[in-house]
Chain A
């Protein structure tokens, strides 16, 4: 496995170019073909419009893809995030419905359970040395069952003002979810770019053995990354439950693990690990959401929307494949892995 050196000037900015172009192209297409797409209006001091909807609806995948980016940077993957979302929603909703604990405790408990779920994934990967796909598959299978167990198989509806605010409230005229996503992104970016953590992650993804010999505590870093992914999934699960004022254990977060992985890959982080870009993943999440919203705007039934999504996934994968680039005669010869 020859991997490019992570220390190559300009490579990080270069990896952001394609997702940015993709997003701009999508928006430009809408500017021409979808009248009213850019229309914004202010009612009761809040901004409304399709663009705001995209940002608001995109927060779940953004939150998921933050954790997923770090996991993928270490060369792993987390398939359990959708199920963890369901668990977090079920835990919070069942506590709120019972009304026994203050709201802060509810949030903390729900996120703690999510972190534990992520930690379980991490232990399987680190100590049992199971491939990440399999390790997280276990929780993907069992997690939804556990969520139903917590919710007693019911769809738990709630009216708790604090919980409802999380996914539906406004802050500074914009949906509160945006503030949440921005805070999460800021904290993650700070932790990975202002401390040595980011360097550790990339070194593990590039060559785990070499990283260990250099004194990086690979086990601890990987445990942290999976737990972090669990917390991100928990947050996304809280937002999702709050959005519909209910915890639906069988549907919450369904197929969202795929959207999260897709967002990370579209954002230029390769699945083999190493170099990663948080901003790229955010752009990826926005591209997916813009695409989905655009398709709905064109009257495409939601059930059929996966078809164009699949075509996007496959094209992005192909664009990242060196073999595919070689076959394209107009592609400039590029060093491997510089997608």
Chain B
């Protein structure tokens, strides 16, 4: 059963390479290191949020609060900095708050067996509202340290630099891959997603694993907020509306089963890159409108869900 498990990831990688190839053939200048690096930089906050979502989905849950928590994080940081806090302290405070918020939702889901999508939906309403309580308007961040962090970049070649946002994305990706594949906690996540009852019978810490997964997703959303403020230089309570949908779509297109237990953070990277490629291609084209991004993502989502369905038909994943 090893081969079919890596098949979705291969298929996703294939789709990404094909899309990138087609775009490179159609649009001059698409095939450059900077455009490729920008795929990471421009989509870093989606990527970081989607990585957190990956763990939640692997454990058989779902987190619809992602976009709202990102918005809260950005406006929280911006407001704290505007009131004179040091940016590093503000970032730490936002990520901590988001982590605790995630843990609280996880606790509600675990302790009272309330459906995850309802609890995180409530969480989304709550976080979005609180973002507006913190500040009704978009707040610009003007702080010398912030400017330095936003301008930071690692030169890869004379014409391409790796920005801080992309770096954060890649570091989070590395951390998630280690967590998912190299730690006891990661194995517990896969086990819980594969089947809660059997995980419990095996004596695995189901409750703490499920809560931790939501806490980690909260932390990732908080971090995605940090990345978003770095990218735009401001905090906005209305930002990232619907981000959770893009994140879920990226995760699913990346080969992670929404029933849990199967998938990988590496697949999510591919999903995010596909999203980024379509978006960049639309920008390069200039004739096609942005709504094609949504239609293309919906179409890809449909394709991959059907594809996964065909793969898992007849196996124990049937639900």
**Which A288-339 residues sit within 8 Å CB-CB of chain B?**
301, 303-311, 313-314, 317-318, 320-324
**A146 and B125 contacting across the interface, CB-CB below 8 Å:** no
**Interface check A119, CB cutoff 8 A:** no
Instruction: Kindly identify, within residues 281 to 300 of chain B, every residue whose CB is under 8 Å from any CB belonging to chain A.
Output: 289, 291-295, 297-299
Contact B297–A128 (Cβ < 8 Å) = no
Contact of A130 among B108, B114, B115, B305 (CB under 8 A): B305
Cα A258 to Cα B242 in complex, Å, equals 13
- Chain A: residues with Cβ within 8 Å of the partner, total of 46
Selecting from B151-159, B224-232, B244-252, B262-270, the interface stretch reads B244-252
Select which of A138, A258, A321 is within 8 A of B305 by beta carbon. A138
Q: A301-B132, A313-B118 are contacts. A145–B293 as well, Cβ < 8 Å?
A: yes
A199 at the B interface (CB under 8 A): no
Minimal beta-carbon separation of A274 from chain B (angstroms): 15
User: B319 contacts the other chain (Cβ, under 8 Å)?
Assistant: yes
Closest A-chain residue to B62, C-beta based? A133
* A194 interface contact, C-beta 8 A: no
Query: Do A265 and B118 form a contact, CB below 8 Å, given A133-B258, A148-B291, A149-B291?
Result: yes
Q: Which residue of B lies closest to A322 (CB)?
A: B113
- Nearest residue in A to B111 (C-beta to C-beta)? A323
Q: Does B22 contact A (CB under 8 A)?
A: no
* Residues on B with beta carbons closer than 8 Å to the beta carbon of A310: 122-126, 129
Report whether A144 and B291 are in contact in the complex, using a CB–CB cutoff of 8 Å.
yes
Across the interface, which residues of B come within 8 angstroms of A140, CB to CB? 245
Q: Which residues of A contact B252 (CB under 8 A)?
A: 134
Q: A306, B128: Cβ atoms under 8 Å?
A: yes
The interface residues of chain B, by DSSP majority, are classed as helix
Instruction: Confirm or deny: A45 has a beta carbon within 8 angstroms of a beta carbon on chain B.
Output: no
* Chain B neighbourhood of A308, CB < 8 A: 129
A152 to B240, CA, bound (A): 23
Q: Which residues of B contact A148 (CB under 8 A)?
A: 289, 291, 294
User: How big is the B interface, by class?
Assistant: 35 or more
Task: Tell me whether A271 is interfacial, beta carbon within 8 Å.
Answer: yes
**Are A138 and B294 neighbours in the complex by a CB distance under 8 Å?**
no
Q: Which of A130, A139, A141 has a CB less than 8 Å from the CB of B309?
A: A130
B301 adjacent to A313 (CB under 8 Å): no
Could you say which residues of chain A place their CB within 8 Å of the CB of B301? 137-138, 141-142
- Cβ of A8 < 8 Å from any Cβ of B? no
* Closest CB in chain A relative to B221 CB, distance in Å: 16
Q: Give B contacts to A, CB under 8 Å.
A: 62, 108, 111-115, 117-119, 121-126, 128-130, 132-133, 136, 237-238, 245, 248-249, 252, 258-259, 289, 291-295, 297-299, 301-302, 305-306, 309, 318-319
4 closest residue pairs by CB, A with B: A142-B298, A145-B294, A307-B129, A310-B126
Q: What are 26 A-B contacts with C-beta separation under 8 Å? A: A128-B305, A137-B301, A138-B302, A138-B305, A141-B245, A141-B294, A141-B297, A142-B299, A142-B301, A143-B298, A145-B291, A145-B298, A148-B294, A149-B291, A261-B121, A303-B237, A304-B133, A306-B129, A307-B133, A314-B122, A317-B112, A317-B118, A318-B114, A320-B114, A323-B112, A323-B113
Q: Please name 8 further chain A to chain B contacts, defined as beta carbons within 8 Å, in addition to the given A131-B259, A301-B136, A318-B112, sorted by A numbering.
A: A139-B298, A145-B295, A303-B129, A303-B237, A304-B129, A308-B129, A310-B122, A313-B125
